[in-house]
Amino acid sequence: MSPQDEQEFRREYDRQTQRGETWLQKLVGLVYVPINLLLVLVIGAGLYQLGALLVKERLAFKHALAVRAYAELPPTVILSLFLIIQMYLRPPEEVVGHKGLLLGNLGFLVEDKDAHVILATIASNLDLFQFWSLVWAALGLSIMLERAKWGVAVGIAGGVWLLGLLAKVAINSLSGVVIV
């Protein structure tokens, strides 16, 4: 990094950190992530339960919630560890610039994300860690649904993933911004 780039980086960092956050912004920042995670888990578990009812299987909500939580946990922890390691290995301008710390999805193939919002959303959600989570969910559902076959569990987990993808495509196309 050249001295000029380093000075520019330092000025930008100082400018962004000098804007003080109010106590309400700090509180929202602390509360948003756990509430969002809880909502995603509960809604996903409800959809797993609905999928089980559609194939005429019984699945208790606590079992569906356990499947959803355990399906999301390993990929999320591993991805977080990879991102932390990369933050220490990469130069600061790449970390701050969000040039892609860990590209596990196909979103980098779409050049103009503003013009192709739907395509960019779909490509960004074809993620290695997302598919790993799907495999865990299908495995958990196949264990919890005693009479169901592996294909039924894959169908339920894949159907819930497709519903989530459709919701993201709808939200992103209405807002015009790609939010993964």
Query: Has residue 20 got a pLDDT over 70?
Result: no
CA neighbor of 51 nearest in space, from 138, 131, 176: 138
40-66, pLDDT tens digit by residue? Answer: 999 999 999 999 999 999 999 999 999
Choose between 45 and 21: higher pLDDT. Answer: 45
What average pLDDT does range 15-34 have in this prediction? Answer: 73
Instruction: Report the 10 Å Cβ neighbour count for 159.
Output: 15
Q: 16: pLDDT confidence band, cut at 50, 70 and 90?
A: low
Residue 48: CA count within 13 A, CB half-sphere? 30
Q: What is the predicted pLDDT for the residue at 96?
A: 57
Q: What is the predicted pLDDT for the residue at 102?
A: 66
104-124, pLDDT tens digit by residue? Answer: 788 778 877 777 888 888 988
Query: Facing residues of 105 across strands?
Result: 127
What is the Rg, in whole angstroms, of the alpha carbon atoms belonging to the chain?
20
Domain boundaries, the chain: 3-175
Q: What is the predicted pLDDT for the residue at 117?
A: 87
Q: What is the predicted pLDDT for the residue at 85?
A: 86
Query: Has residue 172 got a pLDDT over 70?
Result: yes
Residue 133: CA count within 13 A, CB half-sphere? 22
In contact, 165 and 180? CB cutoff 8 Å: no
Mean pLDDT of the chain: 84
What average pLDDT does range 128-157 have in this prediction? Answer: 91
In contact, 70 and 90? CB cutoff 8 Å: no
Query: Has residue 98 got a pLDDT over 60?
Result: no
Q: What is the predicted pLDDT for the residue at 137?
A: 95
Q: What is the predicted pLDDT for the residue at 88?
A: 82
CA-to-CA distance for 68 and 58, rounded, in angstroms?
Answer: 16
Query: Has residue 93 got a pLDDT over 90?
Result: no
CA neighbor of 144 nearest in space, from 29, 51, 80, 82: 51
